[in-house]
């Protein structure tokens, strides 16, 4: 059995994870309104193109004003979504930094176990690299025979 690093549930880690989950929820809550606003803009543009003829000038003018407001709202929602995603990414990076610091501490406290784990990881990577080459060669032979 290989040695395992297991993170310690520190208050900082708990706080980082909770904050990341909350920011992810906020970003997720903005996805559908942003998509809906974009859809509304597309439908309004289609409706505007359908309004032809001099007798519909007033309707076109009103629809253009509505379209302008909808585009503004869509841009604002997309900007909010981008900001929320950036905040979530920073929160997740903070969580990752805490875990990385804990892993480094563990490796320094357990150098033999860390070395054993690194060797096992390297063997696994080599296995997959060899497997990829085998798979690639098999695909080439199949392609040539076809």
Q: CA 57 to CA 94: how far, in whole Å?
A: 55
Mean pLDDT score, 97-121 = 88
Please report the sign of the dihedral spanned by the C-alpha atoms of residue 132, residue 137, residue 142, residue 144.
positive
State phi, psi for 26 to the nearest 5 degrees: -65, -45
Q: Report domain extents, the chain.
A: 11-109, 110-146
- State the Rg of the chain over Cα: 27
Mean pLDDT score, 62-70 = 95
Weakest-pLDDT range from 21-30, 51-60, 93-102, 134-143: 134-143
CA 78 to chain centre: 15
DSSP string across 6-43: -----HHHHHHHHHHHHHHHHHHHHHHHHHHHHHHHHH
- The pLDDT of residue 101 is above 90: yes
Nearest to 73 by CA among 25, 33, 46: 33
Angle 11-50/57-109 helices, nearest 10 degrees? 160
CA terminus-to-terminus distance, the chain: 45
pTM over 0.75: no
Q: CA 14 to CA 7: how far, in whole Å?
A: 11
85 half-sphere exposure, CB direction, 13 A CA radius: 10
List pLDDT tens digits, range 72-91: 999 999 999 999 999 999 99
């Amino acid at each position: 059995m290989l040695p395992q690093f297991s993170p310690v549930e520190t208050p900082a880690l708990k706080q980082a994870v909770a904050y990341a989950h909350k920011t992810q929820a906020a970003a997720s809550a903005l996805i559908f309104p942003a998509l809906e606003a974009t859809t509304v803009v597309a439908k309004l543009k289609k409706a505007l193109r359908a309004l032809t003829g001099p007798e519909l000038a007033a309707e076109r003018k009103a629809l253009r004003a509505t379209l302008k407001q909808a585009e503004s709202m869509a841009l604002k929602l997309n900007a909010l979504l981008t900001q929320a995603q950036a905040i979530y990414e920073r929160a997740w990076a903070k969580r990752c930094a805490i875990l990385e610091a804990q892993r480094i501490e563990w490796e320094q406290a357990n150098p033999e176990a860390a070395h054993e784990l690194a060797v096992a990881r390297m063997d696994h990577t080599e296995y997959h690299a060899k497997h990829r080459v085998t798979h690639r060669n098999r695909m080439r032979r199949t392609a040539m025979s076809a």
